[in-house]
Copies of this chain bind each other. A is one copy, B any other.
Amino acid sequence: MTQDPLSLDNQLCFAIYSASHAFTKAYRPLLTELGLTYPQYLVMLVLWEKRAASVTEIGAALGLDTGTLSPLLKRLEKTGYIRRERSREDERQVMIALTTPGMTLKVRAQEVLKSIGQAIGCDLEQMRTLMDGLRRVRRNLEEA
């Protein structure tokens, strides 16, 4: 650690980058069972929480732009978990709503979460400090 500041082992960015990939790799086989990719799962998390939302609202929650969301939502619609319909009050907006299969999928997602929780062997206390640290880093990077 007193080595080169540019060594891979010293990079917080890489620790986060590789942990993120480890997570999606762990989720992938479980989510494939549900017919979801990891980013699609994130969108479903938003919708299970909000019931319905515009594309922009989903994007704000996840930090994604329409270039990513627009085709992703089309795929989710094709799978049958969401409906996309133009808002009548504001014809620019496309409201995204869960279908019945999309709503009932939540039960199976809870099982997925349970599996992942076991895998990371979550000490609640450590996990909280970890999440606090990550949010602090994220906030600082976004403000800078």
Give me the interface of A with B, judged by CB distance under 8 Å: 4-8, 11-27, 42, 45-46, 48-49, 61-63, 106, 109-110, 113, 116, 118-122, 126-127, 129-131, 133-138, 140-142, 144
Contacts and interface: CB of A to CB of B under 8 A. Distances in A.
A42 B27 contact: no
A19 B134 contact: yes
- Copies of this chain, complex-wide, total 2
A120 B137 contact: yes
A131 B15 contact: yes
A120 B133 contact: no
Question: Which secondary structure dominates where chain A touches chain B?
Answer: helix
Contacts of A118: 144
Nearest 6 pairs of A and B residues by beta carbon: A119-B144, A130-B133, A20-B20, A22-B141, A15-B134, A22-B138
8 contacts: A8-B45, A8-B61, A12-B130, A19-B137, A20-B20, A22-B137, A26-B144, A120-B140
B20 A17 contact: yes
B63 A18 contact: yes
Contacts of A21: 63
A62 B18 CA distance: 8
Nearest to A127: B12
A110 B42 contact: no
B133 A25 contact: no
Contacts of A22: 63, 137-138, 141-142
